[in-house]
Amino acid sequence: MVAPTQITYRGRFAPSPTGFLHLGSLVTALGGFLQARSNHGEWLVRMEDLDLPRNLAGAADDILFTLETCGLHWDGAVLYQTTRNEIYFEMLHSLKDQTFLCGCSRKELQYNQGFYDGKCRHGIPFGKTPRTIRLKVPDQIISFEDLIQGSFQQNLSKEVGDFVIKRADGCYAYQLAVVIDDAMQNITEIVRGCDLLDSTPRQIYLQSLLKYPTPKYAHLSIITNTLGQKLSKQTLAKPIDKKNPLPALFQALQYLGHAPPLELLNEKVETLLQWAITNWQLSKIPHVFAQIE
């Protein structure tokens, strides 16, 4: 399913259109863009819009427009996950020997703090209705070396449990869709937020089952507000000022461990980005972001 390619570097930015682009998501986009451009590679944009109930009308177009005003121009066409259900169905079917139907609700899982205890692995208990499709996981440690966070490992069986790859509402789960799309888009390196670090072993395991290559990973720290909450729509993060994105780009570079000259605040976006590409070093990115005034 994955065509061979000669591309040496291909990265991606994959926002969910549940809100507008704010500083936290700009840092992720900028980090991935600079890593790709400094490696003379391609940088793609994929709209992860599978979670239809959470999608905000107009958010996808606004995100793309904001990226353009910030000078973060992507390669190729934007991929929308909602157009790919047939592919997800095909790949889910190929995993039928490793999956099972589950009748457990989210409320039940809350008692186990989100950990799945395998209640339906050998058959749904009497009286329960099939809700989700889960992937069986082995009792083994999945480990990888993150380019920013260092060594990370997880025993899927003991720390996560068999996880959902098709949801109760009929949507294909993030874990399945992201693995398929990264492979089919020939992504060689993934720069994303540290809130997804815990998902990576699940994705690496799925890659092994589907015989996909495993890309490199670089997980950026998360920007928080003064209350220690992740910047998001839920925490009222402010959208990027599309009329004047330069200050936000400048601040994003500072979070990423780079110190652009102050005079660049008086230049064009393109000038700041060219400085950033020329001076970009992944090794400068801090493991944890400090608050920047």
Could you state, in order of their start, the residue ranges of all structural domains in the chain? 10-85+181-284, 87-166
Do the Cβ atoms of 35 and 282 come closer than 8 Å?
yes
**Tens-place pLDDT, residues 44-63:** 999 999 999 999 999 999 99
| Per-residue burial over 167-198, b = 16 or more CB atoms within 10 Å of its CB, e = otherwise | bbeebbbbbbbbbbbbbbbbbbbbbbbbebbe
Q: Is 132 exposed, middle or buried (0-12, 13-18, 19+ CB in 10 A)?
A: buried
Mean pLDDT calculated for residue range 2-24: 84
What pLDDT score was predicted for residue 128?
85
Distance CA 98, CA 94 (A): 9
| pLDDT value of position 189 | 98
Lowest mean pLDDT among 16-25, 234-243, 274-283: 234-243
Q: What is the pLDDT of residue 4?
A: 45
- Determine contact, residues 119/125, Cβ cutoff 8 Å: yes
Helix (H), strand (E) counts: the chain: 9, 10
pLDDT at residue 232, as a whole number: 66
Q: In this predicted model, what pLDDT tens digit does every residue of 230-244 receive, in sequence order?
A: 766 665 578 999 999
Distance of alpha carbon 91 from alpha carbon 81, whole angstroms:
14
Question: Are the CB atoms for 21 and 240 separated by under 8 Å?
Answer: yes
Matching CATH number, 87-166, of 3.40.1160.10, 3.90.800.10, 3.30.470.20, 3.30.365.10 = 3.90.800.10
Residue 197 gets which letter from DSSP?
A: G
pLDDT (0 to 100) of residue 110: 66
Question: What pLDDT, on the 0 to 100 scale, is given for residue 108?
Answer: 77
Give residues with Cβ within 8 angstroms of 165, minimum separation 6.
92, 95, 99, 133, 134, 135, 172, 173, 175, 176, 206
Q: Which CATH class is domain 10-85+181-284?
A: alpha beta
Q: Look at residue 224 in the predicted model and tell me its pLDDT.
A: 78
pLDDT digits 0-9 by tens, 114-155: 688 888 999 998 888 999 999 999 999 999 999 999 999 999
Per-residue pLDDT band at 3 (split at 50, 70, 90) = very low
pLDDT given at position 293: 56
How high is the pLDDT of residue 125? 87
What are phi and psi for residue 64, nearest 5 degrees? -65, -40
Measured in degrees and rounded to the nearest 5, phi and psi for residue 217 equal -130, 140
pLDDT in tens, 221-230: 988 776 666 7
Could you give the CA distance from residue 128 to residue 41 in angstroms, rounded to a whole number? Answer: 50
Per-residue pLDDT at 229: 66
Instruction: Considering only residues 109 and 238, tell me which one the structure prediction assigns the higher pLDDT.
Output: 238
Mean pLDDT of the chain: 92
Helix (H, G, I), strand (E, B) or coil at 31: helix
State whether residue 125 is helix, strand or coil: coil
Strands (E), 29-135: 42-47, 79-80, 99-102, 132-135
